[in-house]
């Protein structure tokens, strides 16, 4: 069956995609089984028996091969798009499809018109920008010299964060551009928020289903006996993940900023013993949390809701108090929430705010759901309010330990969010929960969030590490790892914070690493210790000749910290250094930095 004569048109595919996105896990499995059964009926294929949600091959027979070729392209900042691209590649290979997976750095986009089938998995970075590795591809397909793509079949999976106004903008624009170039959209584009696992799985299955002709044989599968899920950690057959977090025991919790510091930072150590969880330096720890009790109480008091009134959250029924405490995001606002709120309330002032980018940014920063209810009043009931609030996402913390050093433990460095606005004290959901409510020997639900885009060089090359505040956390993991492997020297840390006496995180550890020649150099910037503020970018420029020499001799450059200010300032400083020391123009310096990123010698972990 030719894809060009697919009996489902775009409208039908869009409707089917929307239907599938709304299904829960069990319903999705049932629908998958239904389609497999239909294909079997049409093509004489053995029908898989599905019980529960697990299927496995009955034998180690290789999958049948088809003539279908698929190129899977990804553009990423944090590595999530890469992980999904590799997963799609495995699924395609299992179906006998000849699939290759490439980053948009490595793909010759001028040969796009020669492809048969293309899947593009791409994130949106910051305020609607493509990730660095996708920038050239994005400009090519959306620009005036875009190619004619008649005969190319494609689909797009867009990743983003509804916190931002231009959620999934890069993926959306690539999807529209490919369609306008004449390519055939096999499956409608899917946009994913931070909880991307289920919608991405649905997109993959639907895309491969539409890509594969019905007569292509499927491997015979039978239901596999599954061990009962153990309630104890590390039970036989239990695999811990974001959808099935591990209850990690707190081994240590120590405040590592001084009493006179205006910042509250904790070093937290957790046990992973028996979990089977593994991580590498550069990965993050996802922590599931609860909302501050005071904020929940204030929202209930303001709305007048009965705390025990039942509401539906997803597939579960619970009290509104339980929903606000454990399941719904109330400490942070997102553009998506404000948009839904305005659609429900028709509030004219909120409508004005949504189109004023500067005022919108200011309002989103530091306000919470109670502010929204107070500032834009509406006669809410509990059910309607729950409908506009998004699920509370787990918080991600850069891991500050190496398993080579600490074994079945994981360490994180947590800066507690506390501030006051409109005469009301505010607290970060996860950071304050860890600081105020969780004690040693108690347990918290966690999972490992892999980040293949922030990794040590395998060959022990020179590294320059730039971080401010808790942005130093992954570098502690880097140094632990190198020390455990016996790799000495060739490492340089630039660290910044407010005051030397109270905010020098892990000071004694850095001094020991210097003494033992694991760390070669350290340059520090404490902004409040003198009248004129000094930041890490200033220290980089002070050492610019040697920094450039390190880069010219193969050093890898790492940047971890605040995206909005610190990361931008460091990026600008690096460009200035390359221009000055390399004797080149701004355009050439930008090309130099882009090449560092292409070679994975400039890696960024920002938040």
Query: Given the DSSP bridges, would you call strands 463-468 and 491-497 parallel, antiparallel or unpaired?
Result: parallel
Is 165 annotated as a binding-site member? yes
Whether 159 has a binding-site annotation, put simply, is: yes
Helix H or strand E segment including 419:
strand 418-421
Residue 122 annotated as binding site = no
Rounded CA-CA distance 44/212 in Å is 15
Alpha-carbon distances of 454 from 109, 129, 399, rounded to whole Å:
25, 20, 12
Q: Confirm or deny that 536 is annotated as ligand binding.
A: yes
Question: Residue 88 CA to chain centroid, in angstroms?
Answer: 18
Pair 341, 372: CB distance under 8 Å: yes
Tell me the two tokens of residue 428: 């970060």
**Residue 398 labelled as part of a binding site:** yes
Q: Which residues pair with 124 in a beta bridge?
A: none
Q: What angle do CA 252, 491, 412 make, to 5 degrees?
A: 20
- Rg, Å, the chain Cα set: 26
Which of these, 550, 437, 533, lies nearest to 491 by C-alpha position? Answer: 550
Q: Is 163 annotated among the ligand-binding residues? A: yes
Residue 569 among known ligand-binding residues: yes
Q: Is position 160 annotated in a ligand binding site?
A: yes
- 318, 487 contact by CB (below 8 A): no
430, HSE (Cβ side, Cα atoms, 13 Å): 22
Coil/strand/helix, residue 433: helix
Q: What is the Cα 362 distance to its own chain's centre?
A: 24
| Rounded-to-integer distance, Cα 156 and Cα 137, Å | 14
Q: Please check if 419 is assigned to a binding site.
A: yes
Q: Is residue 166 marked as binding?
A: yes
Place of tokens 């590649």: 89
Distance between first and last Cα of the chain: 47
Q: 543 with 580: CB under 8 angstroms?
A: no
Q: Is 534 annotated among the ligand-binding residues? A: yes
124 is in an annotated binding site: yes
Query: In terms of Cα–Cα distance, which of 479, 480, 300 is closest to 403?
Result: 480
Is 397 labelled as part of a ligand binding site?
Answer: yes
Q: How far apart are CA 131 and CA 123, in angstroms?
A: 7
Residues forming a β-bridge with 313: 316
The response to whether 125 counts as a known ligand-binding position is yes
**Token pair in block for residue 128:** 């609607």
The pairing of beta strand 491-497 with beta strand 265-271: unpaired
The CA distance from 563 to 605, in Å, is 9
Task: Please tell me whether 499 is known to bind a ligand.
Answer: no
* Contacts for 166 with CB less than 8 Å, ≥ 6 apart: 124, 127, 128
Q: Is 123 annotated as a binding residue?
A: yes
Stated as kind and residue range, the H or E segment containing 250 is strand 246-255
Select from 242, 243, 245 the least CA-distant residue to 233.
Answer: 245
Question: Is 535 known to sit in a ligand binding site?
Answer: yes
- Residue 428 labelled as part of a binding site: yes
Is residue 607 part of an annotated ligand binding site?
yes
Residue 126 labelled as part of a binding site: yes
100 forms beta bridges with 71
- 184 assigned ligand-binding residue: no
Alpha helices in 143-238, H assignment, sequence order: 169-180, 197-211
Helix, strand, coil share (%) of the chain residues, nearest 5: 40, 20, 40
Is 431 annotated as belonging to a binding site? Answer: yes
User: Known binder of ligand: residue 12?
Assistant: no
Summarize the annotated binding site for FMN as residue ranges. Answer: 123-126, 159-168
Summarize the annotated binding site as residue ranges. Answer: 123-126, 159-168, 331, 395-398, 413-415, 419, 428-431, 527-528, 533-537, 569, 607
Summarize the annotated binding site for NADP(+) as residue ranges. Answer: 527-528, 533-537, 569
Summarize the annotated binding site for FAD as residue ranges. Answer: 331, 395-398, 413-415, 419, 428-431, 607
């Amino acid at each position: 069956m030719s894809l060009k004569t697919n009996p489902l048109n775009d409208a039908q595919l869009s409707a089917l995609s929307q239907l599938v996105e709304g299904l829960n896990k069990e319903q999705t499995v049932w629908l998958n089984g239904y389609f497999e059964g239909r294909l079997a009926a049409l093509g004489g294929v053995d029908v898989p028996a599905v019980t529960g949600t697990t299927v496995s091959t009955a034998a180690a027979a290789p999958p049948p091969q088809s003539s279908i070729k698929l190129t899977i392209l990804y553009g990423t900042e944090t590595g999530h798009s890469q992980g999904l691209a590799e997963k799609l590649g495995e699924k395609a290979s299992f179906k006998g499809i000849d699939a290759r997976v490439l980053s948009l750095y490595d793909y010759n986009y001028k040969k796009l018109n020669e492809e048969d089938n293309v899947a593009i998995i791409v994130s949106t970075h910051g305020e609607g920008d493509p990730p660095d590795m996708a920038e050239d591809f994005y400009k090519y397909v959306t620009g005036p010299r875009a190619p004619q793509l008649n005969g190319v079949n494609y689909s797009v999976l867009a990743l983003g964060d509804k916190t931002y106004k231009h959620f999934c903008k890069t993926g959306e624009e690539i999807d529209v551009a490919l369609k306008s170039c004449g390519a055939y959209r096999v499956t409608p584009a899917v946009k994913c928020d931070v909880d991307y696992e289920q919608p991405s799985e649905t997109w993959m299955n639907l895309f491969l289903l539409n890509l594969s002709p019905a007569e292509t044989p499927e491997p015979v599968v039978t239901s596999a006996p599954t061990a009962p899920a153990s309630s104890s950690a590390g039970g036989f057959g239990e695999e811990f993940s974001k959808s099935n977090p591990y209850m990690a025991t707190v081994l240590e919790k120590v405040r590592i900023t001084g009493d006179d510091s205006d910042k509250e930072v904790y070093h937290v150590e957790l046990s992973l013993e028996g979990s089977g969880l593994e991580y590498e330096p550069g990965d993050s720890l996802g922590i599931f949390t609860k909302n501050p009790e005071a904020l929940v109480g204030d929202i209930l008091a303001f709305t007048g809701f009965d705390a025990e009134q039942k509401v539906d959250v997803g597939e579960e029924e619970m009290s509104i108090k339980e929903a606000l405490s454990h399941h719904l995001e109330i400490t942070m606002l997102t553009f998506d929430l404000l948009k839904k709120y305005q659609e429900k309330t028709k509030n004219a002032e909120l409508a004005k705010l949504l189109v004023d980018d500067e005022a919108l940014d200011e309002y989103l920063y530091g306000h919470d759901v109670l502010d929204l209810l107070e500032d834009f009043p509406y006669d809410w009931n509990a059910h309607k309010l729950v409908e506009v609030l998004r699920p509370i996402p787990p918080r991600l913390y850069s891991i500050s330990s190496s398993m080579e050093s600490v074994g079945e433990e994981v360490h994180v460095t947590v800066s507690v969010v506390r501030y006051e606005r409109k005469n009301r004290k505010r607290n970060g959901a996860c950071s304050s929960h860890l600081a105020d409510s969780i004690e040693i020997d108690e347990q918290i639900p966690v999972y490992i969030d892999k980040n293949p885009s922030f990794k040590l060089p395998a060959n022990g090359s020179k590294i320059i590490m730039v971080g401010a505040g808790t942005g130093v956390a992954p570098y502690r993991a880097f140094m632990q790892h190198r020390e455990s492997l016996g790799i000495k020297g060739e490492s340089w840390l630039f660290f910044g914070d407010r005051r030397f006496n109270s905010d020098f995180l892990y000071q004694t550890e850095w001094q020991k690493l210097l003494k033992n020649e694991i760390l070669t150099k350290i340059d520090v910037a404490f902004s409040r210790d003198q009248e004129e503020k000094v930041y890490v970018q200033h220290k980089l420029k002070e050492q610019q000749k040697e920094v450039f020499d390190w880069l010219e001799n193969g050093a890898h450059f790492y940047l971890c910290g605040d995206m909005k200010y610190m990361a931008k300032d460091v990026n600008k400083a690096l460009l200035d250094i390359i221009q000055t020391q390399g004797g080149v123009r701004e355009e050439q310096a930008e090309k130099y930095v882009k090449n560092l990123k292409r070679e994975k010698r400039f890696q960024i972990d920002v938040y």
